[in-house]
Structure 1
Amino acid sequence: MNNNGARAGIVLVTPKGHHLMSAIHFKFYVTNNDAEYEALINGLKIALEVGVVNLIARSDSKLVVNQVNGGFQARGPRMELYMRCVQHLLRKFGSAKLERVPREENSNVDALEKMGSHMDNVLLGQILLGIQEIPSIPEVSVFQIQEIPQETWMTPIHNYIRAGTLPEDKLQVRRLRYQATKYVEYDGVLYRRGFNQPLL
């Protein structure tokens, strides 16, 4: 996959060798790593929709595969959200694992990417050409709030996000859970974020 023209290709292969192919054109800005994650997320969602139970997912992105599998740390809130989204989807299968495949073995996907520049949703034979309007994860408006060296109004939010700590009062629990949806914690720091859609 590449980010030239913001597009991605997906190929699902059944145990009997049948192929289901999809090409996606992104109508929002994506980095190369974003596009790699978006392709993987879309592929996992398609697999779930068609009833796949046991899955081996393959990507030619060393970064994505290692982040999802725990070999690399996801750096920054955006990469962490992408990683969490993929991990959540993988848990929905009976069994699933993510493997890296060399780019030279991804020729079918590369060909599909070029088709992703089409601007209409259409089913061409067994190849679905689609348009994705918004990212699969929330948009993160990164404003560093602050590290929390002492007790402030943010301390309960930080403790809940980091360790699941809740107050005893049920009303405060409800309020805290609502407030926590507006923040993400990364490397011990709270960031405020703006959502364009639910994470999953």
Structure 2
Amino acid sequence: MIVIHFKFYATNNDAEYEALINGLKIALEMGVQNLITRSDSELVVNQVNGGFQTRGPRTELYLRCTLRLIGKFKEVRLECVPRKKNSNADALAKMGSQQEAVLLGSIPLEIQEIPSIPEIEAMQVDEAPKETWMMPLFAYIHKGTLTEDKFKARRLRYQAARYVVYDEVLYKRGFNQPLLRCVDEEEGN
């Protein structure tokens, strides 16, 4: 048995995957070829066994990392254990989640500084904005630009009555919001 304390933010599902990944790594270091692994996380067990799909890029990375490690074994069977029958694992998990982990007896403690998966990076895409339904509406309200098509122009004028441009941003009017008038128009009256 081993207790691992994470020095990074991890959701419950992340922690379940981290425990599985660390267990697989230890088994590989020991030279194990055939392995039966038990977990009380129904979600992780079913995702690894192919019964559930992953949602989100982080979970997908954890699943790929786990499957890559499983591929190094001759045979791996992952089973779900009811939480009621998994009290030893729960006790270890509680020890690992404490800030100041107090060890009972001779259970080794490892501190994991970073997740087993790479950090997800957001990419910035420099691409010209595509034509959306808002652009002709914005152009009409802001500059009075109308299309040549009479049907589309009529529809645009009708639709524009429900929107307003403020500080170069298009907003939809609320039910009780009065129509805004231009200051120049008021001064001319």
* Residue 63 (structure 2) pairs with residue 83 (structure 1): yes
* Residue 34 (structure 2) pairs with residue 43 (structure 1): no
Deviation (angstroms), 1:48: 1.1
Pairs within 5 Å for 1:120-159 = 125=106, 127-143=107-123
Higher helix share: 2
Verify the 8 A CA contact 1:119 1:131 in the aligned structure 2.
Answer: no
TM-score for both structures, normalised by structure 2: 0.60
Corresponding letter in the other structure for 1:71: G
Q: Distance in 2 between matches of 1:113 and 1:132?
A: 14
Corresponding letter in the other structure for 1:134: I
Which of 72, 81, 97 is 2:77 aligned to? 97
Q: Which residue of 2 aligns with 1:25?
A: 5
Deviation (angstroms), 1:115: 2.5
Bigger CA radius of gyration: 2
Identity %: 69
- Alignment RMSD, CA only? 2.4
Q: Alignment partner of 2:31: what SS?
A: coil
Q: Quickly say closer, same or farther: Cα 1:123–1:105, change in 2 above 3 A.
A: closer
Q: Alignment partner of 1:40: what SS?
A: helix
Measured against aligned partners, the alpha-carbon deviations of 1:39-97 in whole angstroms (never above 9, x if no partner) come to: 11011111111221110111111111111111111111111110011111111111111
Q: Distance in 2 between matches of 1:51 and 1:118?
A: 33
Corresponding letter in the other structure for 1:87: L
TM-score for both structures, normalised by structure 1: 0.57
Pairs within 5 Å for 1:164-179 = none
Q: Which residue of 2 aligns with 1:166?
A: none
Give aligned pairs, total: 125
Q: Which residue of 2 aligns with 1:160?
A: none
Corresponding letter in the other structure for 1:107: S
Deviation (angstroms), 1:23: 0.8
Corresponding letter in the other structure for 2:89: V
Q: Distance in 1 between matches of 2:31 and 2:104?
A: 20
Higher strand share: 1
Q: Which runs of 5+ in 1 are unaligned?
A: 1-20, 147-200
